[in-house]
């Protein structure tokens, strides 16, 4: 009788242990593998914190179902660049600067580019606002690869928008023309050598409000060389909040540090000359020139 009681007690302990610890491990395994994030990506490393608590307008845009503000995306991507020490190799064009170019307000754009250009730059990342007004929110990532001579768009809606390639081509030409202004040995870009690509493997969004998350995920790939991954809406917004908050805690010192290395400002005549040269080089892009392929 005692043996039966001991055996029953032992089996009961095993069942309880499995339910408590086994279930916990199963949940952890689901978090690692079942969320769409590749196995080599650790949720802890992606630093998904608790939900936003501050109530600024920017943070409100990170709440579920809201369109994410462009300056939130800008701060997150700038934080990625800063954290990974890629300031010398990656030039980031913010949503505001992109809109200046789109609206043909070129002076802020050229002054911004002049202050950030270095010989080591290999990639230009552009936060592209798609829409005719500030109340029309869709964001995509533009990538100008200065080494492979590719102009790439990563769009979570996967739609070919020809005008975006033409604006990115203008940004690329301006970059080279500013460098030429400071060093006449640098050749001007030849438009026919450049490829125009819509990334076939860009992460697709499943609602109308999460495009900002995927702009940041796509940018994260180019900044860190990590594979593309998917986050659900809530985790994605919390992930963005973490980096947005981190960047804003140190934003003043970061901006002051950047301004100390600025080159001399261009004169109005210099700016106008660069604009005129670039306008002559701008390329009209046709649909049949855009390749839909996977990008690395």
pLDDT at 3 over 60: no
Cα 93 to Cα 109: distance, rounded to the nearest angstrom: 9
Which residue would you say has higher pLDDT here, 283 or 261? 283
Unique residue bearing structure tokens 């395994």: 29
Quote the Cα angle for 70-249-156, to 5°: 25
Summarize pLDDT for 278-290 with one digit per residue, the tens.
888 877 888 999 9
Q: Which of 140-144, 161-165, 172-176 has the lowest mean pLDDT?
A: 172-176
pLDDT interval class at 136 (50, 70, 90): low
Cα 282 to Cα 276: distance, rounded to the nearest angstrom: 10
Query: What architecture is domain 45-293?
Result: 3-Layer(aba) Sandwich (3.40)
| 123 Rama class: left (phi>0) / alpha (psi -120 to 50) / beta | beta
Q: Helix, strand or coil for residue 144? A: strand
Walk across the sheet containing 150-154 and list its strands: 90-93, 123-129, 139-145, 150-154, 195-199, 290-293
Q: How many CB atoms are closer than 10 A to CB 273?
A: 14
What pTM was computed for the model?
0.77
Q: Where are the beta strands (DSSP E) in the chain?
A: 90-93, 123-129, 139-145, 150-154, 195-199, 290-293
Cα 59 to Cα 69: distance, rounded to the nearest angstrom: 9
pLDDT at 114 over 90: no
Which residue would you say has higher pLDDT here, 181 or 2? 181
Domain residue ranges in the chain: 1-34, 45-293
pLDDT at 186 over 50: yes
The encoded tokens of residue 253 equal 């010192």
3-state SS of 94-134 is CHHHHHHHHCCCHHHHHHHHHHHCCCCCCEEEEEEECCCCC
Count the helices and strands in the chain (H runs, E runs): 12, 6
Summarize pLDDT for 45-97 with one digit per residue, the tens.
455 555 455 567 788 888 888 899 999 999 999 999 999 999 999 999 999 99
Summarize pLDDT for 6-51 with one digit per residue, the tens.
445 544 444 444 343 343 333 233 333 333 344 444 444 455 555 4
Question: Percent of the chain having pLDDT more than 70?
Answer: 72
DSSP label at residue 287: G
Cα 43 to Cα 46: distance, rounded to the nearest angstrom: 5
Q: Answer whether 48's CB lies under 8 Å from 238's CB.
A: yes
Averaged pLDDT for residues 106-112: 87
pLDDT at 61: 87
């Amino acid at each position: 009788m005692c043996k039966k009681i001991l055996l029953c007690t032992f089996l009961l302990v095993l069942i309880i242990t499995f339910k408590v610890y086994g279930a916990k491990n199963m949940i952890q395994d689901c978090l690692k593998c079942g969320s769409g994030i590749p196995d080599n990506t650790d949720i802890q490393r992606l630093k998904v914190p608790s939900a936003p608590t501050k109530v600024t307008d920017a943070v409100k845009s990170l709440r579920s179902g809201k369109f994410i503000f462009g300056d939130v995306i800008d701060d997150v991507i700038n934080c990625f660049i800063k954290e990974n020490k890629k300031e010398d190799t990656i030039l980031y064009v913010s949503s505001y600067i992109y809109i200046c170019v789109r609206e043909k307000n070129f002076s802020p754009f050229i002054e911004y580019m002049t202050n950030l250009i270095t010989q080591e730059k290999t990639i230009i990342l552009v936060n592209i606002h798609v829409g005719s007004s500030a109340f029309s929110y869709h964001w995509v990532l533009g990538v100008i690869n200065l080494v492979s001579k590719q102009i790439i768009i990563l769009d979570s809606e996967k739609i070919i928008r020809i005008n975006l390639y033409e604006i990115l081509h203008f940004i690329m030409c301006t970059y080279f023309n500013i460098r030429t202004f400071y060093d006449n040995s640098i050749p001007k870009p030849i438009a026919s050598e450049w490829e125009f690509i819509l990334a076939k493997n860009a992460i697709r969004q499943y609602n109308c409000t999460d495009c900002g998350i995927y702009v940041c995920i796509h940018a994260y790939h180019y900044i860190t060389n990590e594979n593309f991954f998917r986050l659900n809406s809530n985790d994605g917004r919390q992930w963005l909040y973490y980096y947005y908050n981190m960047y804003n805690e140190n934003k003043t010192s970061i901006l002051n540090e950047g301004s100390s290395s600025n080159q001399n400002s261009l004169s109005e005549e210099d700016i106008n000359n660069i604009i005129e040269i670039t306008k002559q080089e701008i390329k009209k892009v046709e649909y049949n020139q855009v390749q839909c392929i996977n990008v690395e």
